[in-house]
Amino acid sequence: MITALGHFPTHTTAGMSGRGKARKPAGGKKHTKSARAGLVMPVGRVHRYLKLGRYARRTSTAASVYLSAVIEYLVAEVNELSGNAAKANKRLVRVALSLFIILISSFFKIKTITPRHIMLGVRNDAELNELLKNVHISHGGVLPCIHPSLLKRKSYSDSLMATSHSGAGGAVINPLPVTNATAASSASARVLTSASTAAGTASSGIASSS
C-alpha cells in the first residue's frame, strides 16, 4: 500500500489546472477601472459602496461606471458655475474640494472657491436648484434679494423731475397729479366761465334792443 501511494505525484505542475485560479504573469501594467472607463471618479470605490448599500441583490460593474460618470458630470457642472460666480465676485482664494475644482480653477485663474460661490452657482441654475432644493449648503448664505415693499419709494420731487424730463419737444407737462377734486374744480371753473359768457351776451343783447 505504501509502495502504491509512492507512484502518485504529490504536487501539481504548472500546466495542470488546480482548484485555485492561475496567477497572472508579473510585470504587466495595472489599469484601474476608472482609467479603463476614462473617468476620474473612482469606479471601484463606487462599486464597493453600491454593494455595501445592498440596493439590489446583484450589482454589475456597468452600474458603477454609469453612476461614476453621472457624479463626475454633476461635480463638473457645479464647479463650473461656482467658478463663474467666483470670477464675477473677483475672489481669489485656495481650492481644497476635489480634483475637478483644481482643474476648473486653474482654467479660470482662480485660487479658491468658497461655499458662497457654490451656493450662488447652484441657486442661479434652474435644473441644479430643482435637484438640490432640499439641500442646505453650509456657510453659503442666501441669495441677495430685497423685497419691493422695503425699497425706498419715490418722493414728489423725484416724480416731478421724471415727468418734466419725459416731455417730448420741450412741451411743458403738468407735474401735479390729477385727482377727483382737481377734476371737479376745473369742471366747475369751466361751468362758471360759460355762464358768465352767456350772461354777458344776454345783457349786450338787451342793451342793443333798448
Angle between helices 61-89 and 115-123 (to 10 degrees): 100
What are the pLDDT digits (tens) for 112-171? 889 999 999 999 999 999 999 999 999 999 888 888 888 877 666 666 666 665 554 444
Alpha-carbon distance 98 to 101, whole Å? 5
| Residue tagged 453659503 (cell numbers) | 140
Coil/strand/helix, residue 31: coil
Rg (CA), the chain: 42
| The CATH number, out of the four listed (2.40.50.140, 1.10.540.10, 2.30.30.90, 1.10.20.10), of the domain defined by the range 38-145 | 1.10.20.10
Take residue 71 and report the three cell numbers written for it: 457624479
Amino acid making up residue 24: K
Burial of 22 (0-12, 13-18, 19+ CB in 10 A): exposed
Does pTM surpass 0.95?
A: no
CB pairs under 8 A, 24+ apart, for 150-158? Answer: none
Position with higher pLDDT, 38 vs 154: 38
- Indicate the DSSP class of residue 54: T
Query: What is the model's pLDDT at position 196?
Result: 63
Residue range 76-113, pLDDT digits in tens? 999 999 989 888 876 444 443 455 555 555 555 556 88
Lowest mean pLDDT across 46-50, 130-134, 182-186? 182-186
- CB-based contact 83:105 (threshold 8 Å): yes
Half-sphere exposure of 95 (CA within 13 A, CB side): 24
Q: How confident is the model at residue 74, as a pLDDT?
A: 94
Domain ranges of the chain: 38-145
For the CA atoms of 71, 74, 80, 86, what is the dihedral angle to 10 degrees?
-90
The answer to whether 79 touches 100, Cβ cutoff 8 Å, is yes
